[in-house]
Structure 1
Amino acid sequence: METLDKTDRRILEVLQQNARLNTKEIAHRIGLSVTPTYERLKKIEKMGVIKDYVTLLHADKIGKTLVAFCNVSLQLHSQLLLKKFEAAISQMEEVMECYHVAGTFDYLLKVVVDDMRSYQHFLTNKLAAIENIAQVHSSFVMTEIKHGTAFKLA
C-alpha cells in the first residue's frame, strides 16, 4: 500500500479547507506545478483517502435548529438484530451520524431536526418503531462550541 508523503498531506490539508479549489489553485498553494499536483491528487483519490467532496451547510440557516445526541441501548445483541438496527438507522434522514460504541449504551446517534416537535415525531414514530430498542437517552445541544471536519495531517 502506498503511503502519503509531505506533499500529499499538504494537498489534503488545502482540500480540507476548500474542496472547490481546482488543480491549478491547489498547485499554487502548495508550491508545485499543475501536472504533478494533478497526478498526486489522482493517486490520493485512487488510494481511497478522499472519502467524498461535499458542501457543508449552516444547519440553522436551513431551519435545522435542534441537535440531539441519543444514547440507544438494545434489548438483545445478536448479529442479526444489530444489523437490522443499523440498516433502519441508516435510512433515517434525521440521523446525521451513528456510532456503535462500547460502554453503558450500544449506539450514539447525532440527530438534527427543525425543532422539538420534529424531534418528538422522530423519536415516537421512527426511532421507537425499530424493534429491540430497550432505552433511549437524549441530550440536546444548547451551544455548539467546536465542530470540525478537517484532520490534522502534519
Structure 2
Amino acid sequence: MFFDEDKNEKNTAAMDATDKKILNLLQANAKQNTKEIAGQIKLTISPTFERIKKLEQQGVIKAYVAILDRTKIGKSLMAHCQISLFKHSKELILNFRKEVAKLPEIIRCHHVSGNYDFLLEVVVSDMNEYQRFVVEKLSTVEGISNIQSSFVMEEIKEGFVYPL
C-alpha cells in the first residue's frame, strides 16, 4: 500500500520520541497491529492509531511491504549499472526517468553526481537474462551514451531500517 507521495516533506524534528518508537517498531515488523504497538510504547490503542495515521498522511510512512529473499524467488543476479546520458537536457532526463520506471528489473534508480548520471540496481535470474535486459530494454532508452555494469558477488549488508 503506497500513500500519497505528493505531501509536503516534514522535518524529523517535528516527531517526538513516541513517534520515533512507533517508526522503529514498524521498521522492525510492519505486520504488528496497533494494539501490539500501543502495548510496547505504553499508550492506548486510539492515540497510537492516530499517530500512525498522522505519520502516513505526512508521508513519513510511505508504504508497508514484504521484503523478499531475491535468491529464493529466482533473482540471483544483481547488477549496478552506471548510466551516462549523451547530453544533459531536461527532456532527456525526464524521458529517461519515465522509461526506466517501466522496467521491472530495475528495483532502484538514483540520479547521481560524479562520473555518471544515474545508478541503477537491477535484479534478474542469470547472465543470459541480464544480457537480454540490456540489449532489448535498457539500450533502447533514448539518450544513453554509456552503460557500465558491476555485478554483486556477495551482499555484506542489506539494510531497510533507517536510524532515528
Work out the number of aligned pairs and report it. 153
Aligned residue runs from structure 1 range 1-150, under 5 A? 3-150=14-161
Q: Distance in 1 between matches of 2:142 and 2:92?
A: 8
- The alpha-carbon deviation at position 121 of structure 1 amounts to 0.3
Question: Deviations 1:14-44 (Å, cap 9, x if unpaired)?
Answer: 0001111100011112222212111111111
Q: Distance in 1 between matches of 2:98 and 2:57?
A: 28
Identify unmatched segments of 5+ residues in structure 1.
Answer: none
TM-score between the two structures when normalised by the length of structure 1: 0.96
- Greater mean alpha carbon deviation, residues 93-102 or residues 40-49: 40-49
- Greater mean alpha carbon deviation, residues 31-40 or residues 46-55: 31-40
TM-score between the two structures when normalised by the length of structure 2: 0.91
Question: Deviations 1:46-72 (Å, cap 9, x if unpaired)?
Answer: 211100011110000000000000000
Q: Distance in 1 between matches of 2:98 and 2:142?
A: 12
SS at match of 2:157: coil
Question: Deviations 1:97-145 (Å, cap 9, x if unpaired)?
Answer: 0001000000000000011000000011001111211111100000000
- The alpha-carbon deviation at position 77 of structure 1 amounts to 1.0
Q: Distance in 1 between matches of 2:86 and 2:136?
A: 19
Moved over 4 A (4+): none
Identify unmatched segments of 5+ residues in structure 2.
Answer: 1-9
- The alpha-carbon deviation at position 91 of structure 1 amounts to 0.3
Cα-Cα RMSD = 1.1
